[in-house]
Amino acid sequence: MGSKVHACSVLLLLVVSFHHSMPWLLDVIFPRDAKSRVSTNNSTPPLIIVPGNLGNRLEAKLDKPSLVHWMCYKKTFHWFPLWIDFNMLMPIGLDCWIDNIRLVYNRTTRRSSNSPGVEVRVPGFGQTYPIEFLDFNNLAGYFHTMVQHLVNIGYVRNATIRGAPYDWRYTPNENQEYLAKLQGLVEEMYEQYQEPVYLMGHSMGCHYVLYFLNHQTKSWKQKYIRGFISLGAPWGGAVKPLRVMASGENDGIPMIPNIKIREEQRMTTTNPWMLPSEEAWPKDHAFISTPSFNYTNQDYKRFFTDINFEDGWHMWEDTKNLTSYLQPPGVETWCMYGVGLPTPVTYIYDENFPNSDPTGYVYADGDDTVDSLSMSLCKRWVNKQNQPVHVTEFKGLTHLDIVFHEQVLNLVQDILEGRSNTSEVVDVAAVNSTSKQP
């Protein structure tokens, strides 16, 4: 719903036509089977999963004062899928979807709100279904493989393992109700199972967990939190959001023009929040290079002015210090991330910037989405908190694969079963090669 265009076969068309350019999509549409090892004990300490950006379902209801296109729905009487809504992949559906999902930023109040006439809710808080699959047909898999792996070793959905979905369009300073619900869920699970809770985050969800833990007392964390499992966290921010806000990024889906999806990508406060932090990056590193100017982390105000998105500057000002100082979480932490893959750290544009795609890239080491400099910043915590910090780098593992890969699932199982000492480096390619030998 959201437009009167029916998009039944869009997903199949994407897989058949474009699978070579979007290998990530195959993992999402056909999530891998969970091949769990036999559990060595009956330990199933409670676990809460906080997903990354775009990592859980959203629903909407409409009563709009105006329409961007006559084929869009103006009023609905029931909640319908806003994310993922496959109508967005159709030309007219995309216009309707962007107008429904966008946020309106108010520079005076420094707050964001839904598009006029749109209500948005997050379904299934405390349950796993909104993070296992992002659509109602269970086609777009996300945490399903992870959850099923844990169920296979004795966990129970919506009981010992629970999801904490949130409205990922908002940064945590505008999501206080969610943080209160997360605290309540932790305390509820502790009281039910009489043991402290593990928190797991992926990507931007790790920043949400860190913000949450930084705002809890030491005594609260000692009582309620057993540990924090971090997967693919962009601790020093990521370069990709600069490209996303400058010229758009369709992640390889050819039906959606980059420039068109840019309209939506500029309408969330989380993209400016995830910009490369001043604490982590050299002041002279150019993230965006154009014939007339090279933009570093000292030039964000000019960057937002030059791309005609000045609200973005104010959003960044509001959020830049939420987690950028990387205050230690104050609980035992397992920090895992992929390395060994070319990852863009500079986007090169021609004179048509910002209304054209990059013409070139400068690469560094990373997981193909976030560079290893940013993800490895959790190493700073080793000597800054009393609780242990375990760091594991997975060679050859992509940003999304970290929630699917068998070696990661087995390591998570080890942690939950009490084997907290983890390998510093896991060569995924070597492990895969060995496992294929007769």
Q: Which residues are catalytic?
A: 203, 367, 399
Nearest to 64 by CA among 34, 33, 102, 30: 102
Positive or negative, the CA dihedral 248, 230, 216, 57 is: positive
The two three-digit tokens of residue 294, written as one number: 């090279």
Phi, psi of 282 (to 5 degrees): -60, 140
CA dist., res. 416 & res. 197, Å (int):
10
CA dist., res. 221 & res. 87, Å (int):
43
Q: Please report, as a single letter, which amino acid is at residue 248.
A: G
CA dist., res. 391 & res. 65, Å (int):
51
CA dist., res. 241 & res. 160, Å (int):
35
CA dist., res. 267 & res. 105, Å (int):
8
CB 114 within 8 A of CB 20: no
Positive or negative, the CA dihedral 89, 95, 99, 105 is: positive
CB 168 within 8 A of CB 273: no
CA dist., res. 155 & res. 45, Å (int):
9
Helices 240-247 and 258-265, packing angle to 10 deg:
110
